[in-house]
Structure 1
Amino acid sequence: MVMTATPSSVLATPPAEPADAAAYFAARLAFHTDVADVHAALAAGAADFTVVDSRTTPGWDQGHVPGAVHLPTARIPRSAAELLDPARPVVVHCWGPGCDGATRAALALARLGYRVKEMLGGIEYWIREGYEVETWEGKRRLPPDPLTAPEDGGACGC
């Protein structure tokens, strides 16, 4: 009698074919970026995208990415044209991975004709990775959280 092993819960749904997986992951990178890449680009002086913080004013006041544009999601339809260059891609974020605010903002901007990516992790991971934020009191930085970023402050290597 031949026994066949029951697949693990990981493989109960088989992985996609390599070509399908490549297409999916390439498309995913067209829609998302992460805080480390945004920070590295800004630190290198990149001027080919605009960071948009879609949180409300109280959230923005707690701390925001230096140089970001404050554009709460509810104001996008009436204010995007006066604050954003339609020829320049937008990287939008909200609170963090437990919040769909950046997704809603990205959808609103895309519907207005903007090329947009969502910054995964939002301001939560920006701060947890030890990057500087601006507030009305000035700039501040917290030490990196060793669960989300290398303790030495270096790049993760991914």
Structure 2
Amino acid sequence: TYTQGRLYVLQAPPGDLLQVHRILELEDTDDKEEEAILVTNSILLYKVDMAAKDLVLINDLHDQVLFLGCNQSQYRSADEFPQLKPNCVYFTDDEAYVWKYKNYCRDIGVINLENNKREEILPQLWCSWPNPIWVTPNLARMNWGCTNR
């Protein structure tokens, strides 16, 4: 099987630098007219040890959650968002060429870092729209906009 990866770098709230490797595998479709698709099958998470100039493999975010995608990567506390699963990575497509393929299956899901199991968060989406993105509402700003009329 063909595999490839994506690399993300982000800063965790305590100031640690994290390097995230998203491993994708080519999966054949049942439809002979459609091409094979790339599917995320695992996430490798490394803490950057600046003093040793090395990467340390970790598999525990404790009560934190990661979001990976085309527009940005985010590190959030599951305590602030109780509907999210701690120690998990939520991901969306980040392929630049997705829009070219009509009825392209989206790679959207959640991977639990403890057991590296993938879970779907949406039914399979097939479309040629632009890549999905994460949106983080700013409630303070939204409240300000409502009262400033």
Which TM-score applies when normalising by structure 1?
A: 0.21
Richer in strand (by share): 2
Higher helix residue share: 1
Greater Rg over alpha carbons, structure? 1
